[in-house]
Amino acid sequence: MSDAPLPRVRLATTSLAGCFGCHMSLLDIDERLFPLLERVDFDRSPLTDIKHCGACDIGMIEGGVCNAENVHVLREFRASCKVLIALGACAITGGLPAQRNHLDLGLCLQEVYLTEPSLATGGIPNDPELPLPLDKVYPLHEIVRIDYFIPGCPPSADTIWKVLTDLLAGHTPHLPERLIRYD
Amino acid sequence: MSQSFLLDGVAVPFLPGQSVLQATLAAGRYIPHLCYHPEFRPHGSCKLCTATVQGRLVASCTTPASAELVVRSDSEELLEIRRTLVQMLFAEGNHFCPCCEKSGNCQLQALGSDLGVTTAGFRHYFPDRPVDASHPGAWIDFNRCVLCELCVRASAEVDGKSVFAIAGRGLSKRLIVNAPSGRLGDTDFAVTDKAMSVCPVGAILPKRVGFAVPIGSRRYDVRPVSAQALDDAPRLPRASDV
């Protein structure tokens, strides 16, 4: 029985209103990517460039929800992934983009595109291709159910590795104090 | 022979006048706390130090120690209550740790790490609160205030200035500055005041020293808050010291 191959796990990742720093931290697990790839196939991810998420075991999302497209992607992940993980400070709290939350969105756009001289190049963008911004930047758990949270800006590679290996081993992820950091 | 009470089944000695939390910390044991500070009278507002005494939930910082007490602190139920309190504090203010100068030295953050809090969980309130940078040596970010009143107590009791107060009720409860303009720069507040150094979060900060200590060397990078709090606590003299 012990020789039976472990089941492969399908993993999807994406960044919403994030900076891809959490994905850099995922890559920062370095040579541990090789044992990870013995168990994991990547679905939609910046690593594969697959555009839509198929049926997955684990989804990891960095970044908060700042526009209508973010909402669609987040809901697609929730519908496709058995386990959905909020990765990093922005996914968990809205993060730096959420610092606009106490400001009026219209005034923000006006300040950036009309008032600020270095960017004033023809008004507030309104191309129909552009997703509409939301009134606030929302943490993921305010839009869909999130199963696990990996705090940090970004979370360290060790923190991401601990959660992934716990899940691959069939355990509920548990982070010790030294791996729970909010910055 | 000193008197003692039972904490999680172990005898904790106490001196007359000590609270349950004071005696516990003096004995080298830890109960999580935020608004309590060893140099100030207990305040009992944050409830992080909630423990079960004679079967009832009480704030251990304001409960006088006495010989017949049976105290329970180390239970999953109490840990969950404390986690929820920390989560509510995070959701109620604007706590953006990645860009906060206090990060790594923040007691709220350190409590979250130590208690295993990975998310605020609740819907974030995202309040609209000001920043006061009117003082030449210090600034106040009201977004991060957790209403522990340590600055209020320090300014009144130690500095003799009463620069700070708490106004309002419920969601409108807030820290205010005792000046007609409401600005810190219009008070006699000084960076050498006790109220300057006592803030457990990043609400009252000195100017021009932010991020001076690198990540990895900050207070709670080195040791968790549960260990640091014991270092800070006044300890009972050991028999070998007498």
The rounded mean pLDDT for chain A is 94
The pLDDT of residue A130? 95
Q: Do B97 and A153 touch (CB under 8 A)?
A: yes
Residue A54 lies in a domain: yes
Domains of chain B: 3-74 (3.10.20.740), 82-222 (3.30.70.20)
Domain holding A31, by residue range, is 9-100+136-179
What pLDDT digit, counting tens, does each position of B18-37 carry? 999 999 999 999 999 999 99
Contacts of B223 in chain A (CB under 8 A): none
Instruction: Kindly report the pTM of this predicted structure.
Output: 0.94
Identify the pLDDT of residue B233. 82
The answer to whether position A147 is within a domain reads yes
Candidate from B98, B113, B119 with C-beta closest to A153: B98
Q: At what angle do helices B76-92 and B107-115 cross, to 10 degrees?
A: 140
DSSP lists the bridge partners of residue B13 as B4
Nearest chain B Cα distance for residue A112, angstroms = 20
Q: Do A180 and B99 touch (CB under 8 A)?
A: no
CB-nearest to B119 from A86, A153, A181 is A86
Cis peptide before A154, with omega less than 30 degrees from 0?
yes
Answer yes or no: is A155 within a domain: yes
Rounded distance between C-alpha atoms, residue B178 and residue B176, angstroms: 7
Structural domain total, chain A:
1
pLDDT attached to residue A117: 79
User: For residues A103 and B108, what is the distance between their CA atoms, to the nearest angstrom?
Assistant: 26
Sequential DSSP letters for A86-143:
EESHHHHH-TGGGGGTTS-HHHHHHIIIIISTTT-SSSS---TTSPPEEEEEE-GGGT
In a domain, residue A90? The reply is yes
CATH at residue A57: 3.40.50.700
Residue of A nearest to B222 (CA): A178
User: Is residue A106 in a domain?
Assistant: no
Which of chain A's residues have a Cβ under 8 Å away from the Cβ of B229? none
As averages over each run of 10 residues, the pLDDT of chain A (183 residues) reads 80 97 97 96 95 97 98 98 98 96 94 82 88 97 98 98 97 97 95
Of all residues in chain B, the one with the smallest CA distance to A154 is B98
Structure tokens at B92: 């109620």
Give the per-residue pLDDT at A83.
98
- Specify if A125 maps to a domain: no
Does B130 contact chain A (CB < 8 Å)? no
Each residue's pLDDT expressed in tens, for chain B with a length of 242 residues: 579 999 999 999 999 999 999 999 999 999 999 999 999 999 899 999 999 999 999 999 999 999 999 999 999 999 999 999 999 999 999 999 999 999 999 999 999 999 999 999 999 999 999 999 999 999 999 999 999 999 999 999 999 999 999 999 998 999 999 999 999 999 999 999 999 999 999 999 999 999 999 999 999 999 999 999 998 887 765 544 44
Give the gyration radius of chain B's Cα atoms: 19
The ipTM value here is: 0.93
What is the pLDDT at residue A119?
Answer: 72
Cβ contacts of B216 on chain A, cutoff 8 Å:
none
Contact A85/B at CB under 8 A: no
**Chain B contact for A177 (CB, 8 A cutoff):** yes
pLDDT tens digits for range B160-211: 999 999 999 998 999 999 999 999 999 999 999 999 999 999 999 999 999 9
Give me the pLDDT at residue B241, please. Answer: 46
Percent of chain A with pLDDT over 70: 98
Residue of chain B nearest A90, judged by CA positions: B96
Using a CB–CB cutoff of 8 Å, tell me whether A93 touches chain B. yes
